Chains A and B, each alone.
Chain A
Amino acid sequence: MTDITLHCKVLYIVNADKNNIPTPEEAQTALDEAYRQKERARQVYGAFNGLIFIIWGSVYTTAYTVVHLWPQAEIVWLPLVLIGFFLSYWFGSRIGTFLRSSAGRAYRSLWAAFGLGYFLLGWGFATANAPSQLFSYVVNLFVAYALVASGIATEQSVLVRAGAVLAGVNTLFFVIAPSYYYLAMAALGLLAVVTGLRVVRSEI
């Protein structure tokens, strides 16, 4: 550093102190801290999304693998879905005890509506004796939509990406390779578990 630049810097620091204005270095430190806190706050939603990925990824992997191996064992879905809904609700409620926001309310309403729609759809398909693979396909399209909508509401891009991937894989295997459909969805569930674990590890 030359004498002139050093002189300028010292003058700036003296002036900065005089006016109670931070030096550029102090300003940078304060900025870094502010952005770090903003990021930490966003991780509250991120960690929740990670847990949801783990829960529902496990449900998908287990149920689709079982149904792929034993097509008559479709009843396995019922307890797993109920456990999934219970755990999702429980984790959501825990966040609700310390954080309230319109994004959270939108998220909760969306998935409550989805839960109701899921059971109505299941009842309708079962009554009409419709193919179970078609039921899975329709439900997964709704899940994909709910993921994208939740991602937009909570500004979590990982949810939007997850919804897009689910919609793509769901349609691709249902149309092109239906015999591998359940297996592909099980693999997607496993991917969700891995993604969830990575998100939780990075956010906590």
Chain B
Amino acid sequence: MRFDPLIHQQTRLRIMAYLAGLGSDALVEFGALQEALGLTEGNLSRHLSKLEEAGYVQIKKGYEKKRPRTWIQLTGLGRDALEGHLAALEALARKANYPGLHKDKR
């Protein structure tokens, strides 16, 4: 469980969560990811670069039917970081009840 400021940025959290939801080894095409998350090309590229630098995603370039394609994949490190971050968020969210709990005890 580790709060990760890099993942916590809203767009990056959405990217990571979406990739995780596709499955442990899924590769998604850049355009499809852009469409699914409703982001501009530049915006998605910028956030993916940061995630790639951290080793959380892998960006693979290739061709399909002679057309260039960019594929995005969540790495094992990225998956672990996301799980740790979500666990930290859950722990934080539970704290929202603490004042109420103290009040009940009184």
Contacts and interface: CB of A to CB of B under 8 A. Distances in A.
A39 interface: yes
Given A5-B99, A99-B27, A101-B25, A28 B93 contact: yes
Contacts of A21: 3, 92
29 contacts: A8-B99, A9-B99, A12-B95, A24-B92, A24-B96, A25-B96, A31-B89, A33-B10, A33-B13, A34-B14, A34-B86, A37-B13, A37-B17, A37-B37, A39-B21, A40-B36, A41-B17, A41-B18, A41-B20, A44-B22, A99-B26, A99-B27, A99-B29, A100-B27, A101-B23, A101-B26, A101-B27, A103-B26, A155-B23
Given A20-B5, A31-B86, A99 B18 contact: no
B36 A102 contact: no
A177 interface: no
Contact of B26 (A9, A24, A97, A100): A100
Interface in B68-106: 71, 82, 86, 89-90, 92-96, 98-100, 102-103
B53 interface: no
Contacts of B8: 22, 30
Given A27-B92, A31-B93, A103-B26, 10 more contacts: A24-B94, A25-B96, A27-B89, A33-B14, A33-B17, A34-B16, A34-B86, A40-B36, A97-B29, A99-B29
A42 interface: yes
Give the size category of B's interface with A.
35 or more
Interface of B: 3, 5, 8, 10, 13-14, 16-29, 31-32, 36-37, 64, 71, 82, 86, 89-90, 92-96, 98-100, 102-103
A41 B10 CA distance: 17
Query: Nearest 9 A-B pairs (CB), nearest first?
Result: A41-B21, A24-B96, A38-B21, A98-B32, A27-B92, A101-B26, A5-B99, A37-B17, A34-B17
A30 B36 contact: no
A127 interface: no
B17 A1 contact: no
A70 interface: no
B18 A98 contact: no
Give the size category of A's interface with B.
35 or more
A103 B23 contact: yes
Interface string A98-133: 111111100000000000000000000000000000
Dominant SS among interface residues on chain A: helix
Interface in A17-67: 20-25, 27-28, 30-31, 33-42, 44
B28 to A, nearest CB: 6
